[in-house]
Copies of this chain bind each other. A is one copy, B any other.
Amino acid sequence: MTDSKVTELNLPMVDPLPEDIQKYFDICDEKLGLVPNVLKAYAFDMEKLRPFMAMYNELMLGESGLSKLEREMIAVVVSSINSCWYCQVAHGAAVRELSGNPKLGEAMVMNWRAAELDPRQHAMLHFAERITKASSETTEEDRDALRAVGFTDRDIWDIAATVGFFSMSNRMASAVGMKPNDEYHGQNR
């Protein structure tokens, strides 16, 4: 856990980590076999790490009308449009794991239109792509297209928030040269 360079910036983790954070990292290590490098990257400043973790956990693991898989699918589609190395690697692995379908993980990375999707998920990813590329052109028609396949207004918020979060993370990761943990590549293939 002390490997030095998870980004191209010289910003080492605080040492020692606060107890609760160290504990959290230990649990990651135990359950995932790794501590995601993004957490290590933010760990040079607890004031930055804590809100990032809180937002991430609520968004990707909290209550939602979107399944965890669906949120990961959005994560990868956004990251593919932005060609983010870190996020495609890490969240591509998550899609493979949560779906048990390696091909689905590949399709989210390579071209989401190639995946076999039901109309609900197709509408979700179509909206995600649109918000990623041209959010300022969003209209009520775009939101209504989501409502028409069964998404609630709360779900629409969650789709937008997931697109937003990875629009942020992609830029952070690329701007600082963040490196994904090697373990992801071979997982759930």
Interface residues in chain A, defined as those with a beta carbon under 8 Å from any beta carbon in chain B: 8-11, 44, 47-48, 50-52, 54-55, 58, 62-63, 80, 82-85, 88-89, 102-103, 106-107, 109-111, 113-114, 127, 131-132, 135-140, 143, 153-154, 156-157, 159-161, 163-165, 167-172, 174-177, 182, 185-186, 189
Contact = CB atoms under 8 A, between A and B. Distances in A.
A185 B135 contact: no
A164 to B, nearest CB: 4
Nearest to A188: B189
Contact of A48 (B82, B114, B161, B174): B161
B135 A174 contact: yes
Given A106-B89, A109-B110, A136-B84, A163 B171 contact: yes
- What's the number of copies of this chain in the assembled complex? 6
- Tell me if A's interface is mostly helix, strand, loop or mixed: helix
B185 A106 contact: yes
B102 A186 contact: yes
A145 to B, nearest CB: 13
Q: Which of A106, A139, A157, A169 has the most chain B CB within a 10 Å cutoff?
A: A157
A160 B163 CA distance: 18
Closest 10 CB pairs of A and B: A83-B136, A160-B175, A85-B114, A51-B55, A164-B168, A51-B54, A189-B189, A135-B174, A168-B168, A9-B153
A179 to B, nearest CB: 8
Contacts of A176: 156-157, 160
Contact of A164 (B127, B132, B159, B172): B172
B153 A161 contact: no
